[in-house]
Amino acid sequence: MALTHVNDKGVVMVDISGKGPSQRRALAEGTIILSPDTIALITSDGIRKGNVLATAQIAGIMAAKRTSSLIPLCHQVPLDEVSVTFAVHADRISASCEARTTHRTGVEMEALVGVSAALLAIWDMVKANEKDAKGQYPATAIEDIRVVRKEK
């Protein structure tokens, strides 16, 4: 099996110059587990840092745009669209990030980075509400980050 990121000169980025551009789309999802009290504060705009979900949307979109700076050897992909959406439940928030491009390589990494950053931004916005008396996060967790759909 030939390695795609290593050759006789060392580490390389995969050559995609022989591929033609096509419309590509990827959807990634993930979940953050939070206390019901924190969820209530989020839905009532009671978090002191501000609007949690709007901040997380911005974080996810910005992160998707910077994927090639974060993931080694990842191509710079000109994004046509990135959207971040949420579903709020009693003890968790599910996040989705969809990325679209017309390019020679896919946008799975952009969608994954976007949803990850959105979930991390939520954690950052609510961490004061999630800490226990010892400053720990016994119930808070980010789970199930995955690519749900990839289209080419």
The answer on pLDDT for 31 being more than 80 is yes
pLDDT in tens, 46-100: 999 999 999 999 999 999 999 999 999 899 999 999 999 999 999 999 999 999 9
CATH assignment of the domain containing 132:
3.30.70.640
List the domain range (segments joined by +) for residue 140.
Answer: 22-151
Query: Where do we find the tokens 């009532």?
Result: 44
Q: How many domains does the chain have?
A: 1
- In a domain, residue 88? The reply is yes
pTM of the model: 0.93
pLDDT in tens, 9-25: 788 788 788 898 999 99
pLDDT in tens, 131-152: 999 999 999 999 999 999 999 9
- In a domain, residue 15? The reply is no
- In a domain, residue 37? The reply is yes
- In a domain, residue 10? The reply is no
- In a domain, residue 3? The reply is no
What is residue 3's predicted lDDT score, i.e. its pLDDT? 63
Buried b vs exposed e over 80-91: b needs ≥16 C-beta within 10 Å?
A: eebbbebeeeee
Instruction: Please state, in angstroms and rounded to a whole number, the distance separating the CA atoms of residues 107 and 100.
Output: 7
- In a domain, residue 49? The reply is yes
Catalytically annotated residue among 15, 37, 124, 132: 124
| 15 is annotated as an active-site residue | no
What is residue 120's predicted lDDT score, i.e. its pLDDT? 98
- In a domain, residue 17? The reply is no
- In a domain, residue 12? The reply is no
